[in-house]
């Protein structure tokens, strides 16, 4: 072979080797897709504390704001103004805090509590819009999960590839949008308000009669069944959902390759006796679970309403020695900041004397609100019952694997609900929520 030809072949071989080596090295490097997906996941996870606690943090801030307004009115900085107090020189939060606004308003509405919290960041505020926050997190989490699932190996030998094969397509399409429309907000508020109107049977064990109202209808009479439906979470509980389906999907994803096993499963699910037992047992368990969760949610609404009734019925005697000692006249002295720029120690002591009178009741009510939020966030308590009823209405969809798209859409909703409820009733989760609220309250 001529020398030139040999050199040419060596050059081609060297070029091919270098290109292959470079491609192999590039394959080992994190690409931009991986970096972006990681950023999505990090952003969603880092805001989990806000997702869990923003509503109650805003509720607490709102109540503190109302107490502060009462203090400012009762101890005016302008000595020419008369103190504004309740009858008999008392201070209460009756009339500025109510059950529906505090429990339901912070679930459904966007509320600006404090417009500006610092001159160092002109846009920083204390504003709560939990539905938008949740929708944004759900959307980012769903997209990150979809991208990760699509990048997984094609063979279903782990949870991610199984998730891709059987579930991910439907998970991304279930309410995974970064915005919330006004209909969702209205439905959530109405559902919460309906819980407050109907808690008596679940909480007291008996319906409390209403005084006759000529020509009128009772509040509960106008509550429709559609108001049970809520804007349940989608992506926030992806980790819990993964745990539920992992043992099932990994095994079943490759079932098509084992004809005899698939035949045995089809035979069992095609038997009418087995179908009847599965249908009756599932519907019975679904009804029991739905009724239990609905009653529990109503009882939490009742507990909250009772706590607010006690709280707003309480009052502080402003003439008592502790209050007089903490808030001495002249009141304008309380509003003189020192050289350090802090609100005066006298004002801080005065506010604390007033706040401490209501603090335990407020904290207890907000812990109940947090527990209610968790359970109400899961959505319609009949989700599992209705889903299972739809799946077993025609067993041919199971035995013959027909109607797969509709089938998995129903299953995805059931899995999402299961994950949400598991989180809502978890004692560890509730304990963490209460500890977070304690930390927020004490940090104030």
Asked if residue 371 lies in contact with residue 427, where contact means CB atoms within 8 angstroms, the answer is: no
Kindly report, residue by residue over 244-270, the tens digit of the pLDDT. 555 565 566 566 566 777 788 888 888
What pLDDT is stored for residue 400 in this prediction?
78
336 band by pLDDT with thresholds 50, 70 and 90:
very high
- Residue among 195, 194, 189 at smallest CA distance from 223: 194
- Cα gap 189→420, rounded to integer Å: 19
**Taking 60 as the threshold, does the pLDDT of residue 11 lie above it?**
no
Tell me what pLDDT residue 10 has.
39
365, 106 contact by CB (below 8 A): no
| pLDDT at 78 > cutoff 70 | yes
Q: For the chain, give the mean pLDDT.
A: 78
Could you tell me the pLDDT band of residue 427, with boundaries at 50, 70 and 90? confident
405: which 2 tokens?
């798209």
Average pLDDT of span 195-208: 93
Query: Which is more confident, 55 or 158?
Result: 55
The whole-number pLDDT of residue 442 equals: 66
- 228 or 380, which is more confident? 380
- CA distance readout (Å), 213 to 131, 209, 217: 37, 12, 7
The predicted-structure confidence for 272-314, as pLDDT tens digits, reads as follows: 898 899 999 989 999 999 999 999 999 999 999 999 999 999 9
Q: With residue 250 as reference, give the H or E element that holds it.
A: helix 238-252
Model confidence at 441, pLDDT cuts 50, 70, 90, reads low
pLDDT at 146: 66
Longest dimension (CA), the chain: 115
Residue 27 pLDDT exceeds 70: no
In the three-class reduction of DSSP (H, G, I as helix; E, B as strand; rest coil), residue 70 is classed as helix
Of 102-111, 135-144, 252-261, 352-361, the least confident? 252-261
pLDDT in tens, 206-244: 998 887 766 555 444 444 444 333 334 433 444 555 555
Q: 96-100, 153-157, 162-166 — which one is most confidently predicted on average?
A: 96-100
Q: What's the pLDDT score for residue 302?
A: 96
Considering the entire predicted model, what is its pTM?
0.78
A 10 A CB-CB count for 123 gives 6
Question: Is residue 96's pLDDT more than 80?
Answer: yes
């Amino acid at each position: 072979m001529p020398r030139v030809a040999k050199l040419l072949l060596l050059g081609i071989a060297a070029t091919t080797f270098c290109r292959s080596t470079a491609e192999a090295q590039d394959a080992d490097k994190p690409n931009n897709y991986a970096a972006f997906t990681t950023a999505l996941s990090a952003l969603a996870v880092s805001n989990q504390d806000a997702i869990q606690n923003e509503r109650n943090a805003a509720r607490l801030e709102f109540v503190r704001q109302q107490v502060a307004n009462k203090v400012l009115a009762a101890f005016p900085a302008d000595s020419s103004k008369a103190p504004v107090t309740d009858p008999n020189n008392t201070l209460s939060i009756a009339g500025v805090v109510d059950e529906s606004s505090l429990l339901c308003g912070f679930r459904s509405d966007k509320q600006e509590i404090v417009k500006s919290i610092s001159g160092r960041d002109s846009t920083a505020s204390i504003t709560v819009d939990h539905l938008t926050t949740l929708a944004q997190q759900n959307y980012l989490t769903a997209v990150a999960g979809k991208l990760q699932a699509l990048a997984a190996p094609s063979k279903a030998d782990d949870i991610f590839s199984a998730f891709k094969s059987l579930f991910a397509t439907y998970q991304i399409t279930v309410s995974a949008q970064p915005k919330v429309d006004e209909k969702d907000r209205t439905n959530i508020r109405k559902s919460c308000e309906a819980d407050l109107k109907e808690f008596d049977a679940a909480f007291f064990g008996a319906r409390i009669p209403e005084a006759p109202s000529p020509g009128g209808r009772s509040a509960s009479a106008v509550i429709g069944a559609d108001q049970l439906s809520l804007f349940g979470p989608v992506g926030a509980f992806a980790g819990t959902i993964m745990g539920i389906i992992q043992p099932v999907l990994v095994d079943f994803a490759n079932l098509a390759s084992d004809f005899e096993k698939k035949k045995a499963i089809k035979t069992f699910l095609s038997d009418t006796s087995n179908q009847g037992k599965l249908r009756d047992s599932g519907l019975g368990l679904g009804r029991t679970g739905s009724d239990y969760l609905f009653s529990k949610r109503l009882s939490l609404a009742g507990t909250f309403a009772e706590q607010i009734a006690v709280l707003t019925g309480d009052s502080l005697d402003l003439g008592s020695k502790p209050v007089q000692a903490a808030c001495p006249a002249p009141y304008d002295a309380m509003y003189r900041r020192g050289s350090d720029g802090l609100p005066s120690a006298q004002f801080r002591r005065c506010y604390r004397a007033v706040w401490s009178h209501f603090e335990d009741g407020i904290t207890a009510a907000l812990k109940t609100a947090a527990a209610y939020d968790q359970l109400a966030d899961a959505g319609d308590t009949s989700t599992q019952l209705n889903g299972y009823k739809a799946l077993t209405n025609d067993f041919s969809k199971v035995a013959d694997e027909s109607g797969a798209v509709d089938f998995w859409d129903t299953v995805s909703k059931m899995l999402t609900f299961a994950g949400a409820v598991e989180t809502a009733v978890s004692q560890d989760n509730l304990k963490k929520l209460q500890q977070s609220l304690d930390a927020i309250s004490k940090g104030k």
